[in-house]
Structure 1
Amino acid sequence: MDTWQPISAEELEALVVSQLSECSTEQQRFFEQCKVVPYLAKIERLGTVETVFVVARTGNIALYYEDVEEGFNISELQPDGSILNPACEQWELCHALWHMVKA
């Protein structure tokens, strides 16, 4: 039986490249404007503090990859940079970008 392992930076980069190619031109432009060098941010999962990769930011809104649920999500950040509102949306990158534009 395989045990769960967090996504690596290399796996995440490949996933972003793959899913970004399926996004609209407007979404690709938006992502280019707000992408960041992926970094780890704290997130609380069922009372345990773990980390997720943030891949883009606009203002106080972060786009991050939730590797337990295997999907992208958006959330405001707390003052310490941690995820304020954890979500389990399992969005593809194009769906998360659509929601981020609206946020």
Structure 2
Amino acid sequence: MIWEPITLEALYNQILRAEEEMNSELQRFWELIKIFPEKWIGPEYGKEGGGFWVVAICGRNIIWYNDIEEGFNISPYKQYGEFEDYRCNQDDLQYPVQSLLTVINFGGDMPGYFAPPQTID
């Protein structure tokens, strides 16, 4: 099977489905952080598709769609248009949005995530 990047239309369908599942508090927060989806470059992966779709920005974190793994993720960034950590969670959108809101409300660190395989030296 040959991987093809997700289309903007298919991405919007996923966003719309997730918005239907959000409670009112989460929906209000989502309205504050969401952006019109745009492609950002990530480390190592996704170059074939021109990057990954970023759908929200909150402080120095983004929510982006990993269309290789088919799920939304949170990653930090330093420079607009480039993010730092490749993550491969397979979450629906409402879960990373809720994670950001929880960190804002209660403090603490970002929740755990799945990263690509690492070599052992």
- 1:1-103 alignment, distance < 5 Å: 2-45=1-44, 49=47, 51-101=51-101, 102=103, 103=110
Matched residue type, 1:81? G
Tell me the TM-score normalized by structure 2: 0.75
Question: How many percent of aligned residue pairs carry the same amino acid?
Answer: 30
Question: In the TM superposition, what is the alpha-carbon distance from 1:3 to its structure 2 partner?
Answer: 2.4
Tell me the TM-score normalized by structure 1: 0.87
Distance 1:20 1:86 in 2: 24
Distance 2:72 2:51 in 1: 14
**Richer in strand (by share):** 1
Off by >2 Å, runs of 4+ in structure 1: none
Matched residue type, 1:52? F
Question: In the TM superposition, what is the alpha-carbon distance from 1:80 to its structure 2 partner?
Answer: 4.9
Higher relative contact order (CA 8 A, sep 6+): 1
Distance 1:36 1:80 in 2: 13
- Do 1:38 and 1:53's aligned partners in 2 also have CA atoms closer than 8 Å? yes
For residues 20-61 of structure 1, the C-alpha deviation after alignment (integer angstroms, 9 at most, x for no partner) is: 111222111111111101100001245x74510000111221
For residues 56-96 of structure 1, the C-alpha deviation after alignment (integer angstroms, 9 at most, x for no partner) is: 11122111011111000011113253111111111111111
Mean alpha-carbon deviation: is it higher for 77-86 or for 62-71?
A: 77-86
Q: 1:87 aligns to what SS in structure 2?
A: coil
Matched residue type, 1:53? W
What's the RMSD between the two structures over aligned residues?
1.7
Asked which structure has the greater CA Rg, the reply is: 2
